[in-house]
Amino acid sequence: MSTIRVAVVDDHAVVREGIRRVLEGEPGVIVVGEGANGTEALALVAREKPDVLVMDVAMPGQTGIQVAAELHRLGGTTRVLILSMYDQPEYVLESVRAGARGYLLKDSPPAELRRAVRAVFQGEQFFPPAIAARLTDALRPQVPDAVATDVLTPREKDVLIGIATGETNKQIAARFGISHRTVETHRESLMAKLDIRTVAGLTKLALEEGLIEG
Does residue 203 share a domain with residue 116? no
φ, ψ at 30 (rounded to 5°): -130, 145
- CB contact at 8 A, 114 and 172: no
3-state helix/strand/coil string of 20-45: HHHHHCCCCEEEEEEECCHHHHHHHH
Q: What angle do CA 31, 34, 39 make, to 5 degrees?
A: 140
Query: Which segments in the chain show pLDDT lower than 70?
Result: 1, 137-148, 214
Single-letter amino acid code for the residue at 163: I
Using only the alpha carbons of the chain, give its radius of gyration: 17
Q: What is the pLDDT of residue 28?
A: 94
CA pair distance 194, 198, nearest whole angstrom = 11
Q: What is the pLDDT of residue 137?
A: 62
Domain that includes residue 17, residue range: 4-126
Does residue 150 share a domain with residue 103? no
Q: What is the pLDDT of residue 101?
A: 94
Q: What is the pLDDT of residue 188?
A: 92
pTM of the shown model? 0.66
Does residue 112 share a domain with residue 191? no
Q: What is the pLDDT of residue 139?
A: 59
Q: What is the pLDDT of residue 145?
A: 47
Query: Where a domain ends, among 126, 153, 170?
Result: 126
Q: Express each pLDDT in 168-186 by its tens digit.
A: 999 999 999 999 999 999 9
Does residue 13 share a domain with residue 109? yes
Does residue 84 share a domain with residue 30? yes
Q: What is the pLDDT of residue 99?
A: 93
Does residue 145 share a domain with residue 108? no
How many domains does the structure of the chain reveal? 2
Of 202, 200, 178, 179, give the one whose Cα is nearest residue 190. Answer: 202
Q: Express each pLDDT in 99-141 by its tens digit.
A: 999 999 999 999 999 999 999 999 999 998 888 877 776 655 5
